[in-house]
């Protein structure tokens, strides 16, 4: 046992201290009925840069926990930090007091204390675990889990690998949070160069400035503040997976980052998606997919005769990439593609899109070659009137009409709160209201709407096994995702978690509900429900709507899921961008038990 893991003999540094022992990248494997985990702190060095570290069993990521469906597991978690910690078993069906969310499921784990989780394993697939305390995920408190099925796997494979994507910073995450609250764009390297690359009219400049945003503000934090990691290793640190030509390789890809979306591709190698958030889907072949924070996709690839293939996890803002290699021999390396041009936000991403198909074909994603054209297109296409059948003057007329309807392009633009239902709390926590949010289940995500190959979107996901409950939902619950970029306030229905932590969203026992999430912000939010799977309303039959527990709600758009409320207790429901959750975008969901109590 490394010295740092021996609680009695180790100096307990602060939870995000940069002192203490060096924490290595990569992880071992644990299995069995009793698993012992120790949370401790130290420092990490990624590509020569030293940053804070919180490790589980001495590594980042923490150990792979590999269990089998049908077993019972006891997990003893010892806290060697100076602050409280917790472990949340992401995506697990379990008794709610084993879910690991301080303040909702249990009080948390005090320094020096050991907490024992125990629950039966009722599912199979790829999952992960992470801290639900403070900002500890940013410093490395996360790890992968695999639950092997009780029966046969639905697909065959020769190799089985985990690719856990994350983001590393040398900064204390509390410093990042405070800077996000005081200076939007501080961590966005694109800001200073944007106006040079893409000339704007004075009007456009004023609109973006009034929102304290730029069209490139699609992630709160990018490189170089972040270095993107593959299994804890930076892009130059040699993460590789061995293969022989013709083998079927299963890659279990987990987005374990604090705050990053990735666009994943393997140039020269198509990927067959076989599971989403741990749940089997009908195999679907793509060349690229976007993975939001906390999402999981299992893919099968069949490498050919090439010496190596690059697995590229490009950050959504294209400021950097996580990188690993499929290698036919140790050290084999493929060419790494350059970062693509950053995508641009559009008026469609402000909920002004009138597009029909859930797709926004406006000025987005034209890349550098079309940048000049894009700037010119902004007047019309960017307003959502990209349909060439709509004459420009008609489009302008529509805009004028909307302006008369309450929207002003001046002052507090795009904040017509009369568009919100009466149960939304109107206040300084809302700086934008989507005017015409459309369902974007068919949207592959920012930066991927115009790429010249096959890209996954939620409409392509189909549950492999039929869903148990195919009842029509008996009610529609509409929830608005709301925020104030400048003050970094985030919320559901205008209420930050601190204001509603005692006022849960209640579901009756076994109630079948359709939940509609409407994004009144310009950022994509990966919304996560604990303790249950929901089914994306993506055009599939009720029997085969894909089961997930994270759904990305695109900027200015809506997304829907159906839920059978059959796991009693109190569950966290939140944006999985860690700084958004910490900034208030979280609620408690209570499922009333069959006897009437929680």
Note the residues at the interface with Cu ion (CB under 5 A).
Answer: 525, 575, 577, 580
- In this structure, are residues 248 and 302 in contact, taking their beta carbons and an 8 Å threshold? yes
The maximal CA–CA distance of the chain, rounded, in angstroms, is 75
Instruction: Kindly tell me which of 311 and 575 has the beta carbon lying closer to Cu ion.
Output: 575
DSSP string, 171-236: S-HHHHHHHHHH-TTTT-TTHHHHHHHS---HHHHHHHHHTT--TT--SSS-TTT-EEEETTB-TT
Instruction: Kindly tell me which of 479 and 575 has the beta carbon lying closer to Cu ion.
Output: 575
Q: Cβ 257 to Cu ion, closest distance in Å? A: 13
Instruction: Kindly tell me which of 431 and 511 has the beta carbon lying closer to Cu ion.
Output: 431
Instruction: Kindly tell me which of 17 and 526 has the beta carbon lying closer to Cu ion.
Output: 526
Which residue has tokens 């893409």? 198
Using CA atoms, how far residue 207 sits from 211, 214, 481, in Å, is: 7, 9, 21
Instruction: Kindly tell me which of 86 and 521 has the beta carbon lying closer to Cu ion.
Output: 521
Instruction: Kindly tell me which of 496 and 577 has the beta carbon lying closer to Cu ion.
Output: 577
Q: Cβ 297 to Cu ion, closest distance in Å? A: 20
Q: How many other β-carbons are positioned within 10 Å of the β-carbon of residue 126?
A: 24
Is the link from the previous residue into 61 a cis peptide, with omega within 30 of 0?
Answer: yes
CA distance 261 to 557: 17
Instruction: Kindly tell me which of 166 and 386 has the beta carbon lying closer to Cu ion.
Output: 166
Q: Residue 116, exposed/middle/buried by CB under 10 A (0-12, 13-18, 19+)?
A: exposed
Strands 296-301, 249-255: parallel, antiparallel or unpaired by DSSP? antiparallel
- In this structure, are residues 64 and 143 in contact, taking their beta carbons and an 8 Å threshold? yes
Which residue has tokens 């949070």? 177
Instruction: Kindly tell me which of 447 and 569 has the beta carbon lying closer to Cu ion.
Output: 447
Q: Cβ 437 to Cu ion, closest distance in Å? A: 16
Q: Residue 28, exposed/middle/buried by CB under 10 A (0-12, 13-18, 19+)?
A: exposed
Q: Cβ 128 to Cu ion, closest distance in Å? A: 19
CA distance 56 to 37: 6
Instruction: Kindly tell me which of 58 and 173 has the beta carbon lying closer to Cu ion.
Output: 173
Q: Cβ 523 to Cu ion, closest distance in Å? A: 6
Q: Cβ 506 to Cu ion, closest distance in Å? A: 23
Q: Cβ 328 to Cu ion, closest distance in Å? A: 40
Q: Residue 40, exposed/middle/buried by CB under 10 A (0-12, 13-18, 19+)?
A: buried
Of 426, 414, 401, nearest to 208 (Cα)?
Answer: 414
Q: Cβ 120 to Cu ion, closest distance in Å? A: 32
Q: How many other β-carbons are positioned within 10 Å of the β-carbon of residue 170?
A: 17
Residue 372 DSSP SS3: helix
Instruction: Kindly tell me which of 166 and 462 has the beta carbon lying closer to Cu ion.
Output: 166
Which residue has tokens 């800001």? 191
Instruction: Kindly tell me which of 384 and 526 has the beta carbon lying closer to Cu ion.
Output: 526
Its sign, for the CA torsion 362, 365, 368, 369, is negative
CA distance 230 to 62: 13
Instruction: Kindly tell me which of 159 and 516 has the beta carbon lying closer to Cu ion.
Output: 516
Q: Cβ 492 to Cu ion, closest distance in Å? A: 10
Q: Cβ 576 to Cu ion, closest distance in Å? A: 7
Q: Cβ 527 to Cu ion, closest distance in Å? A: 8
Q: Residue 558, exposed/middle/buried by CB under 10 A (0-12, 13-18, 19+)?
A: buried
CA distance 60 to 168: 11
Q: Cβ 378 to Cu ion, closest distance in Å? A: 26
Q: Cβ 294 to Cu ion, closest distance in Å? A: 11
Which residue has tokens 């793509």? 286
Instruction: Kindly tell me which of 361 and 580 has the beta carbon lying closer to Cu ion.
Output: 580
Using CA atoms, how far residue 393 sits from 372, 382, 524, in Å, is: 22, 15, 31
CA distance 573 to 586: 6
């Amino acid at each position: 046992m490394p010295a740092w893991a021996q609680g009695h003999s180790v100096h307990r540094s602060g939870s995000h201290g940069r002192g203490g022992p060096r924490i290595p990248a990569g992880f071992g494997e644990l299995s069995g009925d009793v698993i012992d985990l120790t949370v401790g702190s130290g420092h990490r060095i990624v590509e020569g840069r030293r940053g804070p570290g919180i490790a589980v069993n001495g590594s980042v990521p923490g150990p792979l926990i590999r269990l089998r469906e049908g077993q019972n597991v006891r997990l003893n978690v010892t806290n060697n930090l100076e602050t409280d910690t917790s472990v949340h078993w992401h995506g697990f069906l379990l008794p709610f007091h084993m879910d690991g969310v301080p303040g909702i499921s249990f009080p948390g784990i005090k320094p020096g204390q050991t907490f024992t989780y125990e629950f039966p394993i009722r599912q199979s697939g790829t999952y992960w675990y992470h801290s639900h305390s403070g900002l500890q995920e940013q410093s490395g408190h996360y790890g992968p889990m695999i639950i092997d099925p009780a029966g046969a796997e639905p697909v065959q494979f020769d190799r089985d690998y985990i690719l856990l994507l994350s983001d590393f910073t040398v900064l204390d995450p509390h410093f990042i949070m405070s800077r996000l609250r005081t200076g939007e764009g501080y961590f966005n390297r694109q800001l200073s160069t944007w106006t040079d690359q893409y000339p704007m009219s004075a009007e456009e400049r004023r609109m973006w400035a009034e929102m304290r945003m730029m069209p490139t503000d699609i992630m709160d934090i990018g490189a170089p503040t972040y270095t993107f990691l593959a299994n804890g290793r930076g892009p130059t640190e040699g993460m590789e997976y061995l293969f022989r030509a013709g083998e079927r390789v299963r890659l279990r890809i987990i987005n374990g980052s604090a705050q990053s979306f990735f666009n994943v591709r393997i140039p020269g190698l198509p990927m067959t998606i076989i599971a989403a958030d741990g749940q089997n889907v009908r195999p679907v072949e793509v060349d690229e997919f976007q993975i939001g924070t906390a999402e999981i996709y299992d893919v099968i690839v069949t490498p050919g005769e090439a010496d190596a293939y690059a697995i590229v996890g490009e950050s959504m803002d294209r400021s950097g990439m996580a990188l690993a290699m499929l290698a036919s021999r140790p050290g084999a390396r493929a060419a790494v593609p350059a970062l693509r041009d950053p995508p641009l936000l559009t008026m469609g991403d402000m909920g002004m899109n009138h597009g029909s198909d859930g797709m926004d074909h406006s000025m987005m994603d034209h890349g550098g070659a079309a940048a000049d054209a894009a700037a010119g297109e902004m007047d019309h296409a960017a307003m959502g009137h990209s349909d060439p059948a709509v004459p420009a003057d008609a489009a302008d007329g529509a805009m004028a009409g909307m302006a008369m309807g309450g929207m002003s392009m001046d002052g507090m633009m795009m904040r017509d709160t009369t568009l919100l239902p009466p149960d939304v709390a109107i206040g300084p926590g809302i700086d934008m209201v989507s005017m015409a949010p459309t369902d974007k289940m068919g949207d592959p995500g920012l930066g991927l709407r115009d790429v010249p190959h096959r890209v996954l979107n939620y409409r392509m996901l189909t549950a492999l096994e039929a869903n148990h409950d195919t009842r029509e939902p008996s009610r529609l619950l509409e929830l608005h995702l709301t925020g104030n970029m400048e003050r970094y306030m985030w919320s559901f229905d205008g209420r930050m978690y601190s204001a509603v932590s005692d006022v849960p969203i209640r579901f009756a026992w076994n109630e079948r509900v359709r939940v509609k999430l409407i994004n009144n912000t310009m950022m994509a939010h990966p919304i996560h429900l604990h303790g249950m799977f929901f089914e994306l309303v993506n055009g599939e039959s009720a029997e085969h709507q894909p089961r997930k527990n994270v759904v990305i709600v695109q900027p200015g758009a809506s997304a829907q899921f159906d839920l059978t409320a059959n796991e009693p207790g109190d569950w966290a429901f939140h944006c999985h961008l860690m700084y958004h959750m910490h900034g208030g975008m979280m609620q408690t969901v209570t499922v009333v038990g069959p006897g009437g109590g929680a």
